[in-house]
Every structure is written in structure tokens, then in C-alpha cells.
Structure 1
Amino acid sequence: MDTAPSSSSSPTRRGWDRSIPPALRPVVRAYLLGYAYAVGPRLLTLLLQHVARRRLTRRANKQTTTAHDTQNGEPFSAAFRGILMRALDWQSFPTFCAALVGGTALLERPLAVLLSRSAKNLSDIARRRISRWLASFIAAWLSLRLLQSKQTPSFTDTASGFGPNDPPKTVHYAGRTLDLTLFAVTRALDVIGGELWHRRKLRRQAAGTWTRAESAISRLTDPAVFALSSGLIMWTWIYLPARLPRAYNKWIGSAAAVDPRLITALQRCRQGEIVYGRDTGQAPLLGSMCADYGWPAEWGDPAKTIPFPCEMVHMGCGPSCELHAVSRFFRSFRWAMVTYLPLSLVLAARSSYHHPLRRALLSAARSSSFLATFITLFYYGVCLARNRLGPRLPMLGGGNDDDDDDQASRFQRIDGGLCVGAGCVLCGWSILLEHAGRRKDMALFVAPRALAALFPRRYALAAQWRETLAFAASTAVVFTCVAENRARVRGMMGSVLGTVLGK
């Protein structure tokens, strides 16, 4: 039975915006949420950098004004104020959020009236859904164009003219909003796919033909999406790092804790610059690594050592791949706890659960175990392909070690991509250590980033309408679904949009 919400719970949940007219509440919520999203991470990064610089200055016993500067030499107060003010720009993300939500609410009623006059044969439900979709589509198109209209240096180049006397021309590129578009596309595909699968499940359960295989597919879809997406991201991080955002590259590098010379060696093996059994002038790359770690110099020479030993991948943990995996797990677990534990403590302090400290410790330990297992599986997958299974596969000519050319060709293929591919295939299945509720959020988080790896970060401005069309259509699907069936928009996004769009 439906019951009205109590007067005691409503003010605490939405008391801050009760004085705002109901028609404007979604717009205000959207703007404030967008402002917090645009400002919060930047302020946190600025604060952490400021604290770190002050600590370094105190350790060096230097009482200078540089302690108050940011990494770019700007005073802390000026950088702080600049972050707050830049988010108020009319072409910024908060304005985009307000325009998207406000435009949808503003256009829905006129479109509904227009449809009721021109499409009288449609049912009221169909007219309502079509008007909502069209309103969201138009608002999404216009609001994204607002974001795209802002020119930034990273998407602007100066090209020389065709003739010697022609002045240089400024060339603008599209792609600045690609991550946002892929996020919307991923969410729309999840909504559509989830609804179709749900209807199939109801039909087959009613007919008594629902199978265990279909139940397994339901359970494993989110882990499979995460594993596929994270594997693609790791492949891109090694071979096509320019396809990933700089901050993403930096974070993966910190988590992987790998010597960059190893990454360069794998890249050159794939590009054919390092060739086993031949002197191509690449020995100094890993030769310098041998000198740093105290290994024999010939280990780094691909003309003499085929392949370079797996101990070099272990970076000082000894020759055993299994001991290296164990060492990787504990080192990565400790690194992850430094990140996850403070966040878990903050969330636990705001919750009403019993024993919040124990809950925070368990949550941080579980998330840290997931990340540590992810890193460990990636490295051990590389070792499996290089040392344990790859050399013995018949398709690679395994078992024939008498022919040096055969051996060089075999390990060229392994180090040219197969070993990295094995790590990419294994690492993402660490998601099974997380509980089911977290799996769907994490799968939907990494999927658009994996899709972004398939596209260039910049592309011709003339093709920008395709991105705008994809974003508008996808956003219209998600917004319509939130209004009709909020539970179908999974994860935190469904809750956030339901709160923002509610009256």
C-alpha cells in the first residue's frame, strides 16, 4: 500500500531546496552537482599538492614563499580562487548540466501538447514517452553544443598556408567532449540491453524454459564487461598510451610500479625495432637496466639472450614467477590501502552502521585485495606467456629448442604482444572479489574509458555532428528511462539522476 512520506523525513532529505519553486529545483540541483563535480577533484588535487610541497619545504628547512606556491608557481590562494571562478564560466560543465536538465523540463510540456494535437491516434503513454524523449534529445543536443563551442589550446593547432606567402591558419579539432559522449552511449546501451534481457527472462521464466546457462550469463555479464574493458585499457596503456587521458596514464603507471624501460622494450618488440637473434642497436635500452640491477650485461642484448630473462620483469624479486606474483600482491595491497582506507573511514563516519571502523577496514581491505589481485594477475599472465605456458604451445613451435631461428621467432611473437595479451585477459577477472553491487558500478565506470581507447583523442571538426547525435540520442534514452522506470538505470547514476530530476 502506498503511503505518504512523513514530514520528518522530507525536510532532512530535501530541506535545503524547499524554498525554491518546484519547477526550478531540478535546474538548481543539476547546476550545483555539476559545479561540485567540476571543482571538487581539482580542489582536492590542489590541496594535496600544497600539503606535499609544504612538507618537503619543512624537511629542507627552507622558510621561503615557495611553500605557498602550486606546482606551476602560482600562489595557492590564486589557484584556489581560479578553480572556483573558472567553473562559473557560461561554457562550463555546471552550465551544461543546468541547460540539459532545464531544457528537458522546459520543452516536455509544449511537445506533449503538440503531439496531442498532431498524433491523436497515439495513446497517452506513448505521447508522454515520445515528448520526454524529444525534449531530452533537443536539450542534450543544445547543451553539448554549448560545451563544444569553447575552444581550448589542446584542441587547436596552427597550420601553415598552402603557398609560401599564405598566412598560417588556425585549425580547430573536435573531441573535447568525447569522454562525456561515450559515457552517455554506454549508459544507454546498458539501459536498452538490460530491458531487453529482463523481458526475455520474464517470458522464459513464465514458460518454464529459463536455463542455468542464462542465469550464469546474468551473473557474469558485469564481470565480463569489466574484464574486457580493463584488458583493452591495459593494452592501450602499454602500446597506445596517447589514446588515454594523461591523468589515467599516470595513475596506471603508479599502480603498476614498472620500470619504464621494460614498457619501451615491449613496445619496440612489437614494432620490430628489437629483434631476437639480431643486433639492431637496441642493446643499450635493457643494458642500462642490467647495470642498475646488477645483472649480467648480456641479459639486455637481444642478439645474445633469447628472450631476455623473466627475472628482468620481476625487477629484483628473483627468478621465480610465483614468488614475484606473491610479492606483487602484498606490495600492491599496501599501496592500495593508502588510497582506499581514508575514503572508507570518511564514508563510515557519515553512515549509521554499527561498528563503522570494522566496516571501513573490511571495505578498504576488500577493495585493496581486488586492485592487488588485478595487478598480480596482469604480471603473472605476462610470466605465464613468457616462461610457463607460451614456450610450450604447439602453435608457437613449442618444444623445438634446437633451432635458434625457430626459438627467436617464437619468443619474438610472445614478447611482441602475446605476453601482454595474456596479462590483459587475466587481470580484469579480479572483479569477482568485489560484491555484486560494486561490480556493475565498476563495469559501467571502465566501459566508456575502454571505448575511448578505440577513438583518437582529437578528430576533424566536420565530423563533430556525429558525436553530438550519439550523445543526444543516448541521453534521451537514459532520461526517459529515469522518468519511466528509474530502477532500470543501474548503479549510482540512477540514484543521482532520480534525485536531480525529481520535484
Structure 2
Amino acid sequence: MQPSVAALRAVQPKGPLSFQSLPAPLRPLVRAYLLGYASAVAPRLLTLILQFISKRRKSARKYLSADKDERSFKDSAFRILRTGLDPRRFPTFCAALVGGSTLLQEPLLKIISRVATQLGAASQLRLARWLATFISGWLSLQLLQSKRTHPSLTEAGLASVQQGLAEAVPNGYGGRTLDLTLFAVTRAADVLVGELWSQHRGRRKATEKWTVIEQIISRMTDPAVFAASSGLIMWAWFYSPDSLPRSYNKWITSAASVDLRLIEALRRCRNGELIYGKETGQAPLLTAMCEDYGLPTEWGDPVTEIPFPCGLVHMGCGPSCEYHAISRFLRSWKWSMLTYLPLALALQLRNPKRIDLMKAITGSTRSSTFLATFITLFYYGVCLGRTRLGPRILGKDIPSRQWIDGGLCVGTGCYLCGWSVFIENAGRRKDMALFVAPRALATLVPRRYPLEKQWREKLIFAASTAVVFTCALENPKRVRGVMGGLLSMVMRK
């Protein structure tokens, strides 16, 4: 049944993004470009403004002239605004992807209706939408990949989706847009699996065979995806940090607030450089750490101290693993509140007439509790593996201790930390699972590959976006999370 005119008007974008004065086919293209430009420029401008304010305060305290800082600020701001207009950047990519998928539908539908006469009207329209997005997806990614970058290797995470900054790789290699492709793949998988499960649930409920186990699976899928993805990410952060985007790796390190010498010691346990009971020249690493935290220096000698005590892992918080966990939680919660609360208050300012301070505080508190629990479970998982449970199950001999510190203790922390997602509500769990899944997937694939294989990435990206866009037009609720609402708003004519 076709929706009524009133219903269509009710779901059309209102306000500055409605663009009622433009021809209907061009509205999605313009919306996509403007939103892409805003997402590419706004975060960088905000960072620049905060840095400028910080410099002005320092200059005021030291009674220094701020003229040079102002000139530098204006030049940098202009450069950011100008860079966003580059035709091979993210805003143009968004416009090409969305605009192509809408503008190509009608001509493709005419061709399909003549060629594939055996298909029904609904199937012809679905195929036209899929092909239109596939073609525009292929060409728009080609546009983004055509921009050459500095040959030095840098990292970019999912921020590349928002800022239009792809990962720079050496000449002769592809992979600049890998994070974008993995994002599309994850979304397409979520759409397909969700649709298949929805059909299965409908059939089971119709025959009254829907079981408690199936209901539990429905509720546990998002938390399980988040926990598994978080575990992969934390494992990569610990043992192969180069597989993570540099900015993401830096943020995790900041949140973890850990002495990097401890991480290095456990890495050396895993790769065989640090061997308990054997002199391999590794003592200076941990003995220097003992000196800095006022601990006995003999704790850092892997020849005589097997294993090095958990008191060293606690970094000066005492020998109790439980006390260290509580201390970690409190410190992490405070750090998180200083991050989340200002952001929540800033979001409230979008509508000054409806500011809800209690909502901002409550949301920040819950998110801070989640992140603090995440960090605490990771650290306490390490202690469980190497002190509380691991030796009692596997033994206290040297090979068992080597195996525990060679990865088992870190693996325990990686497994536990993600289940803190249950602190968040069901809606947030869904968004968080979809947020971390592409990052986890990125740890399992090479960050760069030969240019002659770049067609494979374009094929995967085009097919994935075609699935997501087609579903967004036919069944918007199936594209879950913020992305679903954003696509529905952008694609409306």
C-alpha cells in the first residue's frame, strides 16, 4: 500500500535541510555534501579553537603578545575550511555516493523494466536502487582513492568517515579508505543478519515455537558483538598497536593510564625475550620501574622473581588486586566524567529553551560508570589470570607462569572488559556495538595492500553500500542506530 501524501510530508526533513526550493532529485545530494562538509570541518575547527584558547591563556599569564597566535589561528582556520572544499575529499565523496544513488535510479529503472520484464514492479525498483548505489559507491570510492597522500605511513580510524581523512599509505599500496570500507561491510552485515533473524522470529512466533533461548539470543547479540569487538581491540592495543588507528591507540593509552614499561614487559614475555628463570638481559626494564614506584628492585628481576609480583602491575597501589581494582574504578570514573560531562552539556546547548541538566548529568554518570567498569574489568582480569585463578588452575611451575604472563592474563582482561556494556541501556548497546565492530574487523585485515588489488575493495564497498542504501529506502528501521536515522533524513526527496 502506498503511503499517503500527508504521511510523506510528515517524514520529510524540515527546517534548513528541507531545501524545498531545489528540485527533488537534487535535495539528497546537497544534504549529503553539506553534512559531509560539516563533519569534515567542524571537529578540526573545534580542536583548533580549543588549542587557540589554551594558548591565549598561557600568553596572558606570561604577558606575551597574542598577535602571532591570532594570525596563525586565522591561517589554520582558513586552511581547514578550504581543504574541506577539495573535490577529492569526504564532502564530495558523500555527494557522489548519495547523489548518484538517487539520480541513477530512474534511468536504470527504465532499462530494467524493458529488459527484466519477468520481474515484478517492486523487484525492478529494488534492483534499480541496488545498481544505482553500487555504481555510485564504486565511483565515489574511486574518487576518494584518487587523492595522493604523503608517502609516510599514518593511521586514521573511523574519524576518517567523519572528517574525510583517509589513511595515508606508501605509494604503490592501497588501503587509504579501508576504514570506510570496513564500516560499510559491518553495516551491510548488520542489515542482512537482522533481516534474516527478523524473518526467522516472525515464522517462529507465528507457529508459537519462539523459545526462551532464541529470545536470549536476540537480547545478547549486541552485547556479545561489543564484548568480542572490544576484546579484539584491546588485544591489538596490547600486542599489535600498529593495527589500530593512531588516534584511537592514543586515546586507549590515555584512558588506560598505564606505565608503558609494564606493557612492554608482558609483550616480551609473549615474544620470548623475557623468560622466567633465565638471564636474557631484561631486568633493567622492570627494576627501573620498581625504583620509580618505591618498590623492592629485586621484584623486577625475572631470573629470581617468578613471576614479578602483581604489586608491580598495580603501579604503587599496594599488593591487593581488589584494592587496585577499586582505585582504578574511582580514578577512571573521575577522568571519564571530565570528558563526558562537558560534552553532554555542550549538546544540551543545541536547544537552549529545552536544557535538561539532570539528563546531561545522568547520561554522563552512566557513560562514565561504563568506561570506568570497562577499564577496571580489564585490569582485574589481568590479575585474575596471573594471580587469583590462573596459577590455581594451570599450576605454579615456571612454564605455566610463562604461559600466563605470555598472553593468558591479558586475554582474560580482554574477555571481561567488554561485558561492562550492560551498564548502558539497550539503545546505547546497539550503537556501541556497531561503533566498535569495524575497528575490531580492522585488526584482522592488512592495513595496506598492492594497488592492483584495489578493485576488490571497491567491489566490497560498492556492494555493501548498495545493501545498506536499498534497505534504508525500503525499510529504514532495519538500518539501526544513528546511521539509520541519518540516511533516512538525507535520502528523502
Instruction: Please say if residues 96 and 140 of structure 2, whose CA atoms lie closer than 8 Å, have aligned partners that are also in contact.
Output: yes
1:117 aligns to 2:114 (yes or no): yes
* Aligned-partner Cα distance in 2 for 1:2–1:100: 28
3-state SS in 1 of match to 2:447:
coil
The alpha-carbon deviation at position 355 of structure 1 amounts to 7.4
- With 345-354 and 123-132 compared, the bigger mean Cα shift is at 345-354
Gaps of 5+ in 1: 158-169, 402-406
Distance in 2, matches of 1:14 and 1:65, equals 37
- 1:15 deviates by 6.3
Q: Call closer, same or farther: CA 1:149–1:127 in 2, change over 3 Å.
A: same
List aligned pairs for 1:20-419, cutoff 5 A: 20-59=22-61, 61=62, 63-64=64-65, 68=69, 75-154=72-151, 171-350=171-350, 356-393=356-393, 396=394, 398=395, 401=396, 407-419=397-409
Q: Cα distance, 1:339 vs. partner?
A: 1.0
Whether the 8 Å contact between 2:270 and 2:407 is mirrored in structure 1 is yes
| Matched AA of 2:277 | G
8 Å Cα contact 2:12/2:489 also seen in 1: no
Relative to 1, partners in 2 of residues 1:11 and 1:466: Cα closer, same or farther, differing over 3 Å? closer
8 Å CA contact 2:100–2:136 kept in 1: the answer is yes
| Counterpart Cα distance in 2 of 1:335 and 1:193 | 37
Q: Contact between 2:17 and 2:31, CA under 8 Å: does it hold in 1? A: no
Cα deviations by residue, 1:102-145 (Å, 9 ceiling, x for unpaired): 11112111111111111111100110000110010000000000
RMSD: 2.2
Tell whether the 8 Å contact from 1:155 to 1:172 is kept in structure 2 after alignment.
Answer: no
| Alignment TM-score, normalising by the size of structure 1 | 0.90
Q: CA deviation at 1:444?
A: 0.2
Equivalent residue letter for 1:323: Y
Letter matched to residue 468 of structure 2: V
Identify if the C-alpha distance between structure 1 residues 6 and 275 changes in structure 2 by more than 3 Å, giving closer, same or farther. Answer: closer
Q: How does 1:428-443 map to 2 (within 5 A)?
A: 428-443=418-433
Post-superposition offset of 1:58 = 3.9
Secondary structure of the equivalent of 1:4? helix
Q: How has the CA–CA distance of structure 1 residues 309 and 353 changed in structure 2, closer, same or farther, with 3 Å as cutoff?
A: farther
Does the C-alpha gap of structure 1 residues 142 and 11 become closer, same or farther in structure 2, counting only changes over 3 Å?
closer
Q: Is the 8 A contact 2:13 2:492 kept in 1?
A: no
* CA–CA distance in structure 2, aligned partners of residues 9 and 496 of structure 1: 12
| Alignment partner, residue 159 of structure 2 | none
CA contact (8 A) 1:155 1:174 kept: no
- Whether the 8 Å contact between 1:96 and 1:147 is mirrored in structure 2 is yes
Instruction: Assess, with a 3 A threshold, how the Cα gap between structure 1 residues 49 and 179 changes in structure 2: closer, same or farther.
Output: same
Task: Name the stretch that deviates more: 178-187 or 21-30.
Answer: 21-30
> Take 2:235 and 2:189, find their aligned partners in 1: how far apart are those partners?
24
Q: CA deviation at 1:423?
A: 0.3
Which shifted more, 35-44 or 478-487? 35-44
> Relative to structure 1, is the Cα distance of residues 58 and 289 closer, same or farther in structure 2, using a 3 angstrom cutoff?
farther
Does the CA-based 8 Å contact 1:155-1:458 persist in structure 2? Answer: no
| Aligned-pair CA distance for 1:16 | 5.6
How far off its partner does 1:371 sit?
Answer: 0.3
CA separation in 2, counterparts of 1:130 and 1:245? Answer: 36
What displacement does 1:432 show? Answer: 0.3
Identity %: 60
Render the CA deviation track for 1:341-370: whole Å, top value 9, x for unaligned. 112112334459977111111010000000
Letter in 2 for 1:75: S
2:443 to 437, 453, 476: 453
Distance 2:153 2:388 in 1: 49
Structure 1 residues 57 and 384: CA distance shift in structure 2, 3 A:
farther
Does residue 423 of structure 1 match 2:421? no
Q: Deviations over 1:240-289 (max 9, x none)?
A: 00111110011001100000101111111111000000110011111111
Check conservation: 2:13, 2:489, Cα contact below 8 A. no
Mark the CA change 1:15 to 1:102 in structure 2 (over 3 Å): closer, same or farther: closer
Give 2:136's aligned amino acid: A
CA apart distance, 1:328: 0.5
- What CA distance in whole angstroms lies between the structure 2 residues aligned with 1:7 and 1:93? 30
Deviates more, 1:260-269 or 1:342-351: 342-351
Asked whether the 8 Å contact 2:12–2:492 carries over to 1, the reply is no
Structure 1 contact 30–98 (Cα < 8 Å) conserved: yes
- Identify the residue that residue 498 of structure 1 maps to in structure 2: 488
- SS where residue 153 of structure 1 aligns? coil
| AA partner of residue 174 (structure 1) | G
Structure-2 separation of matches of 1:457 and 1:22: 40
Residue 315 of structure 1: CA displacement?
Answer: 0.8
1:54–1:67 CA contact under 8 A, matched in 2: no
Aligned to 1:161: none
Shift of 1:459: 1.5
Q: 1:76 to 1:350 in 2, by over 3 A?
A: closer
| More deviation, 133-142/74-83 | 74-83
- 1:361-383 superposed Cα distances (whole Å, 9 cap, x missing partner): 10100000000000000000000
Shift in Å at residue 51 of structure 1? 2.4
- Are 2:466 and 1:484 equivalent residues in the alignment? no
- AA partner of residue 375 (structure 1): I
Please give the TM-score of this superposition, normalised by the length of structure 2.
0.92
